[in-house]
Amino acid sequence: MLNFELYNPTNLIFGKGQIEKIANLIPAKAKILIAYGGGSIFKNGIYDQVKAVLQDRTVVEFGGIEPNPHYETLMKAVAVIKEQNIDFILAVGGGSVIDGVKFMSAAAHFEGNPMDILQKRLLIKDLSKVVPFGTVLTIPATGSEMNSGAVVTIEATQEKLSFGGSALFPKFSVCDPTVIHSLPKRQLQNGVVDAYTHVLEQYLTYPHDGFLQDRIAESILQTLIEIGPKVVEHPTDYALASNFMWSCTMALNGLIQKGVPSDWATHMIGHELTALFGIDHARTLAIIGPHLYQVMFETKKGKLAQYGKRIFNLSGTDDEIAQEAIHKTVDFFHIMGMQTQLSEYTKDFEKTANFIANRFEERGWKALGEKQNITLEKVREIVTASY
Ligand code: NZQ
Ligand code: ZN
């Protein structure tokens, strides 16, 4: 097992009726900015719940954070934080709002050009230079409620860039599974596939001796396979909703990544497809993941075989099981309402593959994946294969 440090200071408050606890979690004298997205919280009652709890507090609001939050929008919020001397931010939303708040938190007291946080992928480690924040999660998917990473899109350059650092863990996150009642089917499907792929990014590498990490990862995959299709049909079933929400958090709160190799190239390529074509984050992963496993078959086949045996109960030679495991993954994505070919979104494949590879080259991303053997040529191959 590789050496590791496990640091996760987020106070996770899970369950029905927990939103009222934010009253005691936000410092009493704080001037609070409530940040939210396009307005779903007004329709499903979450806004009213939050406002009721904070009725005696000094509160300013910033709404309109779009899915795949834009730097340009977030800088408007940063201006509000400065003008109003905000000292606590409450994110009420999904990955986009929470990630947006992580950026605001880092940018508000940043000395220099805040765009560097994204373009130079600066590590935000100094707690004295960030605005503390908490979250009320409204959609299970990203794990952003319990990790210190974020992804922000620069509209002007059509770049979707990730950043983070140990100062960007939420102080607390309230995860009430009943919030999923109002989610459209499409978003429920996205959540399952995003979380599933988060596990695969950290699991589908090569055989290693992080036995416990593998078993935890496999249990999350099995849970998502079991509940995923059902929760889309029955989001009001509390057993399904709570297991869905907890699986998503566990998939990317840092635990299963400790002491083991990880990949993340599916996400890196997928982010480009969102930036270029506006495809939902999870849906880009459903396109790229299986094709990446195919192109990188020789590197991944040991772990693909383990995955095939333990998750899908497959038998045969390791090569046969590994191949079949990729097919089974695609089948699961189809059950979850995903399209798995890029041609279902755009026909311009050669241009897209070259554009993405050239971008990676400019950023110096020439060796991705757990073995650093996903070269620019391989990136082209993966994108082209996905047509
Ligand atoms: O904006 P509103 O009106 O709130 O509507 C949202 C949005 O349209 C809606 N929604 C959220 N909660 C709802 C609801 N609708 C009805 N009822 C509710 N309870 O759902 C839509 C999608 O929301 P969004 O926050 O964009 O979804 P998600 O949580 O999937 O976040 C996606 C973003 O997170 C990034 C992605 O790249 C993308 O930008 N990621 C962040 C990660 C992280 N920080 O660790 C890791 C992930 O891999 C991912 O990259
Ligand atoms: Zn993701």
> What is the mean pLDDT of the segment spanning 5-12?
98
State the pTM of this model. Answer: 0.98
Angle of helix 281-295 versus helix 185-203 axis, rounded to 10: 30
Listed in order, the ranges of the chain carrying CATH 3.40.50.1970 are 11-179
With the most atoms of ligand 1 within 8 angstroms of its CB, the residue from 40, 43, 155 to mutate is 40
pLDDT band, residue 113 (cuts 50/70/90): very high
Is residue 137 over pLDDT 90? yes
| Cβ-based neighbours of 78, under 8 Å, separated by 6 or more | 104, 107, 108, 114
- Tell me the DSSP string of 192-239: HHHHHHHHHHHHSS---S-HHHHHHHHHHHHHHHHHHHHHHH-TT-HH
What stretch of H or E contains 240?
helix 238-251
Closest ligand (CA of 274): 1
Q: Report CA 11 to chain centroid distance, whole Å.
A: 19
pLDDT band, residue 322 (cuts 50/70/90): very high
Name residues contacting ligand 1 (CB within 6 A). 37-41, 44, 67-68, 93-97, 99, 138-139, 141-144, 147, 149-151, 179, 182-183, 187, 190, 194, 252, 267, 281
pLDDT band, residue 350 (cuts 50/70/90): confident
What is the number of alpha carbons within 13 Å of residue 177 lying toward its C-beta?
A: 20
Ligand 1 atom at minimum distance from 39 CA: 3
Architecture of domain 11-179: 3-Layer(aba) Sandwich (3.40)
Kindly report the protein residue whose alpha carbon is nearest to atom 22 of ligand 1.
67
Q: How far is the CA of 278 from the centre of ligand 1 (A)?
A: 13
Class of domain 185-386: mainly alpha
What the block records as the tokens of 224 is: 């998502």
pLDDT tens readout for residues 146-167: 999 999 999 999 999 999 999 9
Give pLDDT, residue 347: 82
Listed in order, the ranges of the chain carrying CATH 1.20.1090.10 are 185-386
**Partners of 174 in beta bridges:** 13, 136
